[in-house]
Each structure stands twice: as C-alpha cells, then as structure tokens.
Amino acid sequence: MPYVVLVPTVADAPAVQRLADDVFAHAHTYLNAWNPASELTAVNSQKPAKPRPLSPHLAALFDVVDRAFDLTGGRFDPTTGVISRAYENCIADNARPPLPAETARYKHAIGWRKRISRTADTVTRGNANTIVDVDGIAKGFVIDLLVAALVNAGHPNCYVDWAGDIRAQGHHPDGRPWRSAVMAPPSLKRVFGHWKDGTMDELLRDDDVAFFADFAFDRANAGKLDGAAIATSGDYFAVQRYGFHHIARADTLSVMKANQMSVASVCVAASTCAIADAVATASMTFDRLPQAVAFLQQLVDSHPDTVYGYCAMDRAEATWPDAPAKSLYSANIFSPALRSEPNSTSTSSGDEKGLSAAERQQAVGDIGHHTVTNYYRCTFDGAEIELDNFRGCSMQPEQVVLFVTDDDFFKRASLVAEDPLNQVRVELLAPRLSTSSSSSSSSLMLDERKTGVTADLSLKNISVVGGCAVVQAVVTAVSLGEAEFVQAIYRDTYLAKRAVALDVPRSKLPFYPLGKQTKTLLRQMPSAMWVVSTSAAHGEDLAMTATSVTVPAAARGMICFNVGHSSAFYAGLGGVGAGVRLFALSTRQKDIAERYVTRAALGKEDRTRVEEECMVAASCTIEHTEDVQDHHIVLTKIDGVKVPEKDEEGLMPLVWQHGKLMT
C-alpha cells in the first residue's frame, strides 16, 4: 500500500526515507500476518494452551489492542478474523456464504480477553481455531511508530498518510494546520462495477471528496491540539459477492453486508492512529448509521482526550451522485466539501418516503383483497385475540412457529418455560358467510364453532417492532380434533374447502414424533404462493418462492416472511433498510412458483411475467430481521402497492396446501 511522509525540509528526504524503511521493516518482521516468517504468524501457528515467547515489539501492539477492546466494549476484537476468512473462502469456493452450522465451530475461538492469554513475556492461544487478525489496528499502530520516530529525529512538524489513515504533528510548512480530505462512500453500482472489472484500485475519484478534516482544532477546556490522527473504515475496501465485506461481528459469527442503509464509511479523529483505526472498525459493526453515531458520540463524551470526533456516512437517499445524503459529523473537526450541506440529523424512520402510516394500513387491506388469509384465535392467560397470521418458521432442531400481534397482548408474558404466562394456544377458526337481514349482501364472520385444529406453544422470544409484537414460539403439542375440512378466505368469501389430508391415521397421530405432528398440522393450512425479489449488492436480481408471507393487520402496514440460511436468496438479501418486492402469484404462474424453489437468479422474462400476471405486488423496505435456528425472519414496511390489470376473469391466487400447489 502506498504511503506519504511530509516534512518541511526537502533536504531531509533521504534520512526520512531510511527512517520510514526501518519502521516498515520492523512491522514486517513482527506485526505482519501476511509474512509467513513474522512473529504474529508464529503466534497464530502455535499449538493451543502452549505459551510462546512474546517480544516487546508485538507486546506493545497487544497493549494497544487491550485498550481498543476495552474502549469499544469488545466491538473491536481481532479474534473475529477467523469469521472473515471463513466467509471469504466459502464465497470463493461455493458462491455462497457459510451456513450458521459451518461458523458455529468458531464460537469458542472468538474473544480477545477469553482466548488470548498473556504474561509479561509470553502469549497463549486458548483454541486451535483462534487467530489474531490485527488488520483493523496494525496500520494505525505503524503510523504512530513512524510519527514518533520522525519527532524523535527532529521533525516536530510532520504528516504521515498510509492508504488513507493519517497522523499529523505540528503544522504545515505554510504555517496553516495540516488538512486532509475525507471521501464519500461510492455508490454500490460503482463499487460492484469496479469489482466485476477487477479495477478496485480505480474506485475512488477526486470528486468523491465529501469533507475536510482539520488537524488543529479547538476543544473546550483543551486549547489547541498539537497533533491528531484520523482513520477511515468503509464497506467498499474489501467487498465480496452479495455485498459481504471484511468486518466481522463476534456476537453473530457473521460479517457485515453493504446495502443502501448500512453504515458505509466511518472516519474517526483520535489521539493516536491505532485508536482511530480500531474505533472506526468497531463502528462499522452496527447495522444502521444512528446506532454507529450513538456509539461514537458516547466515546467522544466519555473519552474526550482519546476520541476527538467522527464523520459517519451511509448511502441513504443520495442527494448528490455517488455521495451520501445522510451524514453525521463533528463540526469542530470536519467541514463539508460538498456544495450542499449534508443532513446532520439522525436517519429518519422512513415515513417521509412512499406511504404514510394510514396509507400503509390501507395497503394491508388492498393486499388482503387479492391474496389468501386464514384466521386463528390465540388464547393467553385467559384472554383471547384474533390472529390473521400463523406460520411455521423453522423446524430444525425445534419446531418454531411465528405470528405477529399487538404488542399490548404479550406485555406480561414470560419466556420461562415453566411459567404459566409462557403458555399459548392457537386455534384455527372456521369462517362462514352471514347474510344481513337488512341487506342482500354477504359479509365474512368467524364461526364460534371450534375446529379443534390447535397448537399449544411455549413462548421463545418476543420482539417489539413498530408497535407490534413479533412472537416466536416452540410447539409443544398439536391436535387436529375432529376437523374434516380446512378453509381460507379470499375477498371475504371462501377460497376453498379442502379435506384434511393426513400423512398418518388420525388415531395414530398423537403417537408420532412431535415434528411429524407439527408438519402435518402446518400442511393443512392454505397459504398463498409468493415470489420475493431483491437486487443483490453486486447487481444480480434474485428471487425466491415463499409460502411464509403474511400481512398482519396488527403490524400496521408491514409484511413478514422468512428465508432459509442455506439459500442463495438469503446470501444476496440486504439488511435493514434494503429494498424487496413481493408478488402474490396467480394461478397462471404455477411454473414460476416451481422454478424459484431451487433457482435464485431472476430471469428477465420471468421478471416481466411476475409483475404483469401477479395478483398484487408490494414494494417494501426491510425494517427488522431476526435469526431463528436455520431461518431468517424479515419484517418489511410497505412503500407501495400495485394491482396489475387482469385480462382473465376469475383469476385466483395460487395456493399451497397438503404439500402441493392448488390451482
């Protein structure tokens, strides 16, 4: 990586070059994990539980790592490098990210304080899979060493830039403060254009300058600082297929993924370049910009002598070509270089985009008018509530189901299995039509007659999102009672009455494993067939057939679905803030439903057919995600609804029931 060293006197250049060469040779010998003969490589190769001698040079870096780990509350953790490598290798070899089962083995390899033990002169790895990856701090540490060497050599005014990480002391030869440019994160379209062409070294351009950083800034009660450092971390530095990049999280055993709403770039000003480097890296582990900014501001407030300021950016609703509209920065350090002032407030909730809350609620009714709905009664702590959604979520290893309801209903719930407030029963309701005595019109009512189709549940997790409760529960018992038919509602009338088709004789069902009982129950519930589509970060359009889509009225304008971790669609799906489109399929689209069970790349012809022949289409933004065993729950906010014109009378939703498509 190129570096720049500036000192006032040109005549000193040969001596400065020798000094820089010595510092980089030192780093190569002791700190470079890419050097097979370095001390750090030897540490990562040492047998676990066997102490290895530790030089003062590497110990000095580990001391700074200790400080950065504690300062960031463990968000900067060099032992997460094993996850980054697992993702990089799996994507390269298999064109997909690793499955949770494939990264679970690294759980006991991660943890700087837990897995790396040190004495004054030894270091010990606690697990064979543990590696120390200092890429997120070593560059800043070497810059600090070089600046210290320059000052000791009689250069109190100096500036060092190594691949965008900078530390400056004193002032510029002209007498003004040292100043550096901070680049806006390039658009994902541009990032992946260069990625595909193999020209990532040409990614950033001169007109990407978004801010200037001033290295002589006033701080309350501190006067003028004689020097400071800035370091930048961005999602575009080492991007991979599907948008995954190089920064990993210890708590999820996964790497971060670039999308329009993710944290795209963080520049941190600090007392040393190593700390600036580590804090910038840690800030990239947040899903959205406001979370990262809250973390950074807390560090500025609590450690003002260490962390001086920040400039954090995402790509949301770009006002300028390839530039961030949502930027939050410390005005005492960073000044905008763009012609328009970036928005210096937190990212909005999104209600200014697309539909209002009332329009979203109306959209729920519009979607319900063109797709399939089942109704249930949920009984909890003696109270009852009607549900318009209930579905299987993940069957391995536990039988987990999911439903969404009003958040008030479960405010007193317990997640302790032995607690009575942990138990729930959900029963399928029998719909019927009732003709009003004052009118010839018919209206949908829910029959008080019990169907006997029930599931007893133990609450597993409750997440409150936008005023609704997303409830995960484990099935503890199922019953089909004496039900002979199950039915669903379409446009306030019966869509179908289908006979209950059991995989086993009814009398023997209770004696079969709970998993088989649960699957038998869920196969009876008519489900609308949907195709969910998204554009992956690298530009490929992906699609997935789904029976898990529900449009709960309690969710106030949201649509919920889940996707398996092993699918290519999941690999390309963005995080919170990413866009998706959902299409309720018609009976004309059975071939499309079958095709995208196993295929992910959305063909151009199929894209046109999905849009023109579906029952209803919804454009959405991801609002919330959760991992449940081998599945990923996605809650999206509706931004727009379209009902294509139909040229065929009586076109109906495509329905999945009894393990097959019902046309």
2-39 pLDDT per residue, tens: 899 999 887 788 999 999 999 999 999 999 999 999 99
Q: Are residues 232 and 182 in the same domain?
A: yes
Whole-angstrom distance, CA of residue 166 vs CA of residue 663: 64
Of 304, 336, 368, the position where a domain reaches its end is 336
21 within a domain of the structure (yes/no): yes
Q: What is the mean pLDDT of residues 174-188?
A: 86
Sequence-distant (6+) residues with CB within 8 A of 264 are 185, 234, 235, 236, 258, 313, 314, 315, 324
CB neighbours (10 Å) of residue 550?
Answer: 24
Q: What gap in Å lies between CA 42 and CA 495, rounded to an integer? A: 68
Q: pLDDT digits over 117-159, tens only?
A: 999 999 999 999 999 999 999 999 999 999 999 999 999 999 9
375 is a domain residue: no
* 439 part of a folded domain: no
- Please tell me whether residues 401 and 256 are part of one structural domain: no
Q: pLDDT tens for residues 394-451?
A: 988 899 999 999 888 888 899 999 999 999 999 988 776 555 444 444 555 655 556 7
The whole-number pLDDT of residue 405 equals 92
State how far the Cα of 426 lies from the Cα of 408, in Å rounded to an integer. 17
Measure Cα distances from 422 to 395, 405, 413, 458 in Å. Answer: 20, 16, 6, 6
Give pLDDT, residue 279: 97
- Cα–Cα distance for residue pair 57/123, rounded to 1 Å: 13
Question: How confident is the model over 56-69, as a mean pLDDT?
Answer: 97
The mean per-residue pLDDT over the stretch 584-598 comes to 93
Mean pLDDT score of the chain: 86
* CATH number of the domain to which 627 belongs: 2.30.110.10
- Measured CA to CA, the distance from residue 514 to residue 127 in angstroms comes to 37
Residue 277 neighbours by CB distance under 10 Å: 32
Residue 441 belongs to some domain of the structure: no
Q: 226 and 89 in one domain?
A: yes
In this prediction, residues 256-283 reach a mean pLDDT of: 92
Contacts 24+ apart (CB under 8 A), 562-565: 562/391, 562/393, 562/394, 562/402, 562/628, 562/631, 562/632, 562/633, 562/634, 563/532, 563/631, 563/632, 563/634, 564/630, 564/631, 564/632, 565/99, 565/100, 565/627, 565/630, 565/631, 565/632
Final residue of a structural domain among 464, 485, 511: 511
Domain match, 541 and 502 both: no
547 and 413 in a single domain? The answer is: no
Cα–Cα distances (Å) from 164 to 3, 501, 568, in that order, read 9, 65, 34
Strands (E), 288-342: 307-313, 327-329, 334-336
DSSP 326: B
pLDDT digits (tens, 9 = 90+) for 76-128: 999 999 999 999 999 999 888 888 889 999 999 999 999 999 999 999 999 99
pLDDT of residue 441: 46
What is the pLDDT, as a whole number, of residue 659?
Answer: 79
273 and 135 inside one domain: yes
Q: Check whether residue 193 and residue 265 sit in a common domain.
A: yes
Name the strands in the sheet holding 383-387, side by side, starting at the edge strand that comes first in the sequence: 383-387, 376-380, 423-435, 442-465, 468-479, 400-406, 391-394
The answer for 132, left when phi > 0, alpha when psi is -120 to 50, beta otherwise, is beta
User: CA 463 to CA 415: how far, in whole Å?
Assistant: 12
Expressed as residue numbers, the domain containing 184 is: 3-336
The pLDDT of residue 307 is above 90: yes
| pTM to 2 decimal places | 0.76
Q: Are residues 504 and 546 in the same domain?
A: no
Q: In the block, which residue shows the tokens 């008519």?
A: 526
Same domain (yes/no): 483, 593: no
Which pair of tokens denotes residue 201? Answer: 């070294």
Asked if pLDDT for residue 506 goes beyond 90, the answer is: no
